[in-house]
């Protein structure tokens, strides 16, 4: 393993802008099966990865997206959050903070791995957001996430791709 991979600075598996988003399916906090393909041709997807439910940075990010939910929906996008937490953990987190979007449980880290956002050693997801257009192409990757106003960060980009 190279030093860059060991430090988690880059990964051969990282998904980049202009490529087709890796297909996935997972259950959300309600037990509903959600597939990326469900949105193709219908809406853009804000696919955001975060390390852990109910932690300060992850809560700030989720609440920002909650507060901007209507505007993001009006821009033609759905929001999907992904972490390695269980569906039960997601359910408690979503209820506690009144999150109106799906949180996908990825305990086996298949989606996290497919998008190349797994933190070395810890195995949690890195805080990275992928904006995927209606055709399933990654249009923007946000690695410099501003947790407290992530909704504004996302909206500024969505306006150009929806």
Helix (H, G, I), strand (E, B) or coil at 146: coil
Where do the H-state alpha helices sit in 34-162? 56-67, 69-74, 87-97, 110-114, 150-161
Query: Which of 58, 75, 128, 138 does the annotation list as catalytic?
Result: 58
Integer Cα distance of 30 and 33 in angstroms: 9
Q: How far is CA 119 from CA 9, 50, 141, 142, 144, in A?
A: 9, 11, 17, 16, 15
- Concerning whether 63 is annotated as a catalytic residue, the answer is no
Integer Cα distance of 37 and 19 in angstroms: 15
Integer Cα distance of 155 and 158 in angstroms: 5
* Residues known to be catalytic: 58
């Amino acid at each position: 393993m190279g030093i860059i991979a060991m430090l988690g600075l880059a990964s051969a598996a990282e998904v980049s802008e202009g490529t087709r988003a890796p297909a996935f399916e997972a259950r959300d906090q309600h037990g509903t099966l959600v597939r990326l393909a469900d949105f193709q041709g219908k809406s853009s997807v804000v696919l955001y990865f975060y390390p852990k439910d109910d932690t300060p940075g992850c809560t700030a990010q989720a609440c920002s997206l909650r507060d901007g939910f209507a505007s993001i929906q009006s821009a033609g996008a759905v929001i999907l959050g992904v972490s390695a937490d269980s569906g039960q953990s997601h359910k408690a987190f979503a209820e506690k903070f009144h999150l109106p979007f799906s949180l996908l449980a990825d305990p086996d880290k298949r989606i996290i791995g497919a998008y190349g956002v797994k933190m070395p050693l810890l195995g949690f997801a890195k805080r990275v957001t992928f904006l995927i257009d209606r055709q399933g192409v990654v249009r923007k990757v946000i690695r410099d996430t501003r947790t407290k106003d992530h909704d504004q960060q996302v909206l500024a980009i969505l306006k150009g791709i929806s």
